[in-house]
Amino acid sequence: MKKYVLGADIGGTTVKLGLFTTAGELLEKWEIPTDTEQSEKILSDVAESCKEKLRGKGVSPEECLGIGLGVPGPVRPDGSVDMCVNLGWQEKQVKKEMEELLGIPAAVGNDANVAALGEMWQGGGNGCENMVMVTLGTGVGGGIIVNGKVVSGAHGYGGEIGHLLMNPHETRKCNCGKTGCLEQYGSAPGLVRMVERALEDGETDTILKNGEVTAESIFRAARDGDAFAASMTEQFAEILGRGLSYLAGVTDPEVFVIGGGVSRAGEVLLEMLQRHYKAYVFGRQKETKFSLATLENDAGIYGCAKLMMG
Amino acid sequence: MKKYVLGADIGGTTVKLGLFTTAGELLEKWEIPTDTEQSEKILSDVAESCKEKLRGKGVSPEECLGIGLGVPGPVRPDGSVDMCVNLGWQEKQVKKEMEELLGIPAAVGNDANVAALGEMWQGGGNGCENMVMVTLGTGVGGGIIVNGKVVSGAHGYGGEIGHLLMNPHETRKCNCGKTGCLEQYGSAPGLVRMVERALEDGETDTILKNGEVTAESIFRAARDGDAFAASMTEQFAEILGRGLSYLAGVTDPEVFVIGGGVSRAGEVLLEMLQRHYKAYVFGRQKETKFSLATLENDAGIYGCAKLMMG
């Protein structure tokens, strides 16, 4: 009787872990550090920690459906990766290695995709089989869900929406090596850069000229009536709304779930995104809903568990 | 024993029909006119024609898995449509009506999506579970296949790639009511319009200034060394390659299958599309293959049959 399932969201600093019932209840969550100095040990550290937790809980491996893993990078259909820069991994058979270490089945997904699955299962996209989760943080991440399943793509690049070309005239390079990517504008650093440029160009009629400029301070200034800050957040929302229109023209989701640090701006951000999005789509695409992610840092472990459950 | 399956691709002028074995062999294909003057009769005409064919072949309804239908418009998950302008249909329960008329199960899909499914099953995308079919004709149609299934979307707008925004500075309206859509440039009329504009603006150093300008004549002139025509087909391929890069950032297909009238330009078109596409993507997305559709007008009936088979 498989009553339990494990989730491990492997990030560059910590591994978040969770033990769930197959009904979706999070029984316990914990963290271990990611030892990127000894990157070949990361998976065995995860396995050891899981074994210890199962023992402590009196759960036998036979009662465990398996473990879902989220990793920061493209994942191939067979559960292997080309490389995960942030973990120091080159070519690695992640699924196979974990199954050998833990003796139970494993499933592996990209971290952004897995977070989307978590939000679909128990969060802001609950009940939607067709959704897109957009994570607005230091980058722009996307997790595409179609018919209840993550779209990882033929090469593991499904949902890599941060690198959609938005501005063919850009000269600065994105981390990916291209220029004009969505992430260069629609992320927290992108918004900050836009404001800093305007300040360098002599914009003075704003409270942002004093003090540290962060995505948070820009949204706060906009909320407090700073017209310059408001126009910057509108530009930010315009480019993201346009990016979302491309998603709608491809998979036509029922809902966009917006997460990541920038989403703390809340309903005001949703309203702006939706307004710009609507201007770029047609017909019933205009009915696509917008909601905020609700699981915060736990989206990954929920999604890992769900990935394993299929 | 379900040995047979029917496909009916309902277009504005004719309904193309096919009787297949469930192994994918096309046993017979035929056509009937689409009676748009009496649009409420279209489905019963299809049902009558199928019954007659089955009788003639000595196939009993019990041996028939069902019938797949392709219709020109967005299709809801329950097999109903909002409207199909070209057929004179308003709100219609297509699946339900056909099941009552024919007494066997029915499945309904959008025509572009269904054509993609046909190419996946027995055509240019054969063996690929993750592909996109792009139809370049009077419009730009898309059919997205993920894990072997059509992505129809929450509102039936999956694969409506003809209306991705490519040019925010456009002033002319697209048929959809927006401006700057991919279809305004990447279709046969789009290419012709681009050339006609340049001719009006005084371009004279081209054989295209004499005679009728069509997508075919433009590609022919380019092939024959006309530099102006070649630069126009490059512009055409650039904008399409950019559109395909958006698809790659969302579903990351294994292959793009290019069909429709413009695809008769053949390998030279594929080479151009792939070159421009590659400039807009990163990492292993650059490995996405390009191939020509092979089923031509039969893609729809193949896809209808496959849709029914699941």
pLDDT-above-70 percentage for chain B: 100
CA distance A210 to chain B (A): 34
3-state SS assignment for residue B214:
coil
Provide the chain A residues 203-262 that lie in CB contact (below 8 A) with chain B. Answer: 242, 245-254
Q: Identify all chain A residues contacting B144, using CB atoms and an 8 Å cutoff.
A: 250-251
Q: What angle do CA B252, B254, B257 make, to 5 degrees?
A: 105
Q: Which residue has the tokens 């012709």?
A: B192
CB contact under 8 A, A283 and B149: no
3-state secondary structure of B138: coil
Supply the pLDDT for residue A84.
Answer: 84
pLDDT, mean of residues A258-270: 94
Q: Give the whole-angstrom CA distance, residue A144 versus residue A134.
A: 9
A39-76: pLDDT as tens digits: 999 999 999 999 999 999 999 989 999 999 999 888 88
- Match 């150093």 to its residue by tokens: B205
* B176 pLDDT higher than 90: no
Question: Using CA atoms, how far apart are residues B190 and B182, in angstroms rounded to an integer?
Answer: 9
Contact A164 B283 (CB under 8 A): no
Contact between chains at A285 and B249 (C-beta distance less than 8 A): no
User: Is B252 close to A158, i.e. CB distance below 8 A?
Assistant: yes
Q: Which amino acid is at A137?
A: G
| Euclidean distance between CA atoms A153 and B287, whole angstroms | 12
CB-side neighbour CA atoms (13 Å) of B163? 20
pLDDT for the residue numbered A50:
97
Q: Tell me the pLDDT tens digit for each residue of A179-236.
A: 999 999 999 999 999 999 999 999 889 999 988 999 999 999 999 999 999 999 999 9
| Chain B residues within 8 A of A165 when measuring between CB atoms | 242, 245-246, 280
Residue B189 to chain A, least CA–CA distance (Å): 21
- Tell me if A7 sits within 8 A of A303, measured CB to CB: yes
pLDDT of residue B74: 84
Strands across the sheet with B106-110, in order? B26-33, B14-21, B4-10, B64-71, B106-110
A166 CB within 8 Å of a chain B CB: no
pLDDT tens across A271-289, in order?
A: 999 999 999 999 999 999 9
Each residue's pLDDT tens digit, A13-23 = 899 999 999 99
Confidence category of residue A1, pLDDT binned at 50, 70, 90:
confident
Of B163, B177, B284, the CB nearest to A249: B163
User: A284 vs B74: CB contact, 8 Å cut-off?
Assistant: yes
- B156 CB neighbours in chain A (<8 A) are 252, 284
Pick from A85, A86, A96, A106: nearest CA to A8: A106
B8 phi and psi angles, rounded to 5 deg: -135, 110
pLDDT, position B145? 95
Chain B residues touching residue A283 (CB < 8 angstroms): 74, 155, 157, 176
Is B249–A246 a contact, with Cβ atoms under 8 angstroms apart?
A: yes
Neighbours of B35 (CB within 10 A): 15
Tell me, yes or no, if A165 comes closer than 8 A to chain B by beta carbon: yes
Put simply, the answer to whether B285 touches A251 (Cβ < 8 Å) is: no
Query: For residue A176, what pLDDT is reported?
Result: 85
Interval A73-83: pLDDT, tens: 888 889 999 88
pLDDT at position A127, please? 85
Interface probe with A: pick from B84, B157, B166, most Cβ of A within 10 Å: B157
Are B156 and A282 a contacting pair at CB < 8 A? no
